């Protein structure tokens, strides 16, 4: 009995002693095995870059007024329009996917960098007559969609003459990174379209004597190429403060003012060249945004009140009138090619997708 008890106690003691060694050892092995498994496991795959949607890209082109600078006798987006001023001479690029004279050999990223940064694949900085400072705010997905659409355009062989500048163009640095996705509704959507795609300020915001936008009069009207870009701030007397959002939206989509008259000149080009395809919700979003900008009492100068020579910036940045000089010169052909042609292309892309 005593011996049995002693034996049992010894066995019990041995079991406890053994467990106190085995349990920690087992835990250690398990922990090491888990660590080794984690270290050897493949890292999570990076999310794939979103592909562009050509149908949405055609719509982005519409919001940009059809990119009329690149239209002309050579064909849809085939370039060749001449921009001339104190800075020298530049020509609108051929942005069709022609491999010899267009952008057919450019990578998607190279096209994106040209659109948003003004960077040409050949280490050349594009002249800011191309509004890349505005497009630098275009959302990642929108610019990918635009590139996807450009890939679907009919290639046109059209060699554009080389530019002749009086001074080199400095590199461009965006003030802020572009958003990944564009706002989808309301005032934010309207602000995005106005300031990142449609570049409304290029016509409707007057310039300082140095050629920079006069932000104290943002969207308050300017005189361009003998045409009035009216005050579109919500000022009652000199702007559109008495217009309803529906009336503003209707003008954008149809070119018709509340009094029944129709816009002309460059605004007609923008409407017929692209805004006609604008959705009602986007037109209303722009109208809602325009009602939030500061109301500025301003009437654009008449040609008699303007200086004989528009100010320039040493050939680095164009004056206000320059941005649309090519549009005015090509108004007749652009209304046909940009307006009707773009609507045909949009329908073609829709059928394809």
Three-class DSSP category at 222: strand
Q: pLDDT tens, 148-179? A: 999 999 999 999 999 999 999 999 999 999 99
Give the contacts of 86 (CB within 8 A, at least 6 positions apart).
Answer: 166, 312, 315
pLDDT attached to residue 278: 97
Q: Give the confidence band of 73 by pLDDT, cuts at 50, 70, 90.
A: confident
Q: pLDDT tens, 33-47? A: 334 433 334 434 433
Instruction: Indicate whether 323 pLDDT > 90.
Output: no
**Single pTM value for the model:** 0.74
pLDDT attached to residue 106: 97
Mean pLDDT of the chain: 78
Closest C-alpha to 152, from 286, 342, 8: 342
The secondary element (H helix, E strand) that includes residue 164 is: strand 164-165
Q: What is the mean pLDDT of residues 266-292?
A: 95
Q: What is the mean pLDDT of residues 125-140?
A: 93
Question: Rounded distance, CA 178 to CA 69, Å?
Answer: 24
Lowest-confidence segment of 149-153, 183-187, 210-214, 293-297 by average pLDDT: 210-214
Question: Rounded distance, CA 14 to CA 19, Å?
Answer: 8
pLDDT attached to residue 212: 79
pLDDT attached to residue 102: 97
Instruction: Indicate whether 277 pLDDT > 90.
Output: yes
Q: What is the mean pLDDT of residues 64-91?
A: 88
331, 66 contact by CB (below 8 A): no
pLDDT attached to residue 340: 35
Q: Give the confidence band of 78 by pLDDT, cuts at 50, 70, 90.
A: very high
220, 231 contact by CB (below 8 A): yes
Instruction: Indicate whether 203 pLDDT > 80.
Output: yes
Lowest-confidence segment of 49-53, 140-144, 243-247, 253-257 by average pLDDT: 49-53
pLDDT attached to residue 302: 61
274 compared with 207, residue with greater pLDDT = 274
Q: What is the mean pLDDT of residues 13-21?
A: 43
Lowest-confidence segment of 15-29, 62-76, 210-224 by average pLDDT: 15-29
The secondary element (H helix, E strand) that includes residue 125 is: strand 124-125
Q: What is the mean pLDDT of residues 91-112?
A: 96
Q: What is the mean pLDDT of residues 307-330?
A: 37
Question: Rounded distance, CA 14 to CA 23, Å?
Answer: 14
Question: Rounded distance, CA 277 to CA 57, Å?
Answer: 12
């Amino acid at each position: 009995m005593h011996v049995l008890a002693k034996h049992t106690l010894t066995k019990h003691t041995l079991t406890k002693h053994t467990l106190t060694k085995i349990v920690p050892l087992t835990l250690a092995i398990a922990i090491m095995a888990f660590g080794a498994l984690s270290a050897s496991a493949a890292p999570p795959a990076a999310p794939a870059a979103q592909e562009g949607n050509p149908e949405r890209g055609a719509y982005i082109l519409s919001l940009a007024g059809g990119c009329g600078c690149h239209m002309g006798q050579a064909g849809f987006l085939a370039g060749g329009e001449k921009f001339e001023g104190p800075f020298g001479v530049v020509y609108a690029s051929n942005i069709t996917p022609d491999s010899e004279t267009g952008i057919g050999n450019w990578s998607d990223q190279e096209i994106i960098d040209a659109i948003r940064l003004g960077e040409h694949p050949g280490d050349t900085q594009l002249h800011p007559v191309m509004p890349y400072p505005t497009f630098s705010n275009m959302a990642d997905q929108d610019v990918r969609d635009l590139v996807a659409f450009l890939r679907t355009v009919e290639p046109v062989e059209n060699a554009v003459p080389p530019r002749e500048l009086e001074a080199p163009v400095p590199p461009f640095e965006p003030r802020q990174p572009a958003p990944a996705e564009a706002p989808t509704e309301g005032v934010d959507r309207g602000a995005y379209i106005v300031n990142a795609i449609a570049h409304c300020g290029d016509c409707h915001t007057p310039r300082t004597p140095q050629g920079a936008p006069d932000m104290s009069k943002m969207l308050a009207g300017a005189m361009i190429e003998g045409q009035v870009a009216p005050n579109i701030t919500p000022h009652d007397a000199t702007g559109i403060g008495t217009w309803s959002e529906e009336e503003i939206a209707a003008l954008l989509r149809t070119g018709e003012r509340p009094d029944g008259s129709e816009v002309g000149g460059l605004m007609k080009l923008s409407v017929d060249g692209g805004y006609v395809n604008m959705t009602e919700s986007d037109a209303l979003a722009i109208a809602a945004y325009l009602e939030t900008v500061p109301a500025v009492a301003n009437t654009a100068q008449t040609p008699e009140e303007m200086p004989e020579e528009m100010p320039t910036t040493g050939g680095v940045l164009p004056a206000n009138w320059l941005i649309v000089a090519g549009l005015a010169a090509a108004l007749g052909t652009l209304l046909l090619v940009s307006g009707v042609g773009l609507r045909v292309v949009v329908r073609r892309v829709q059928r394809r997708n």
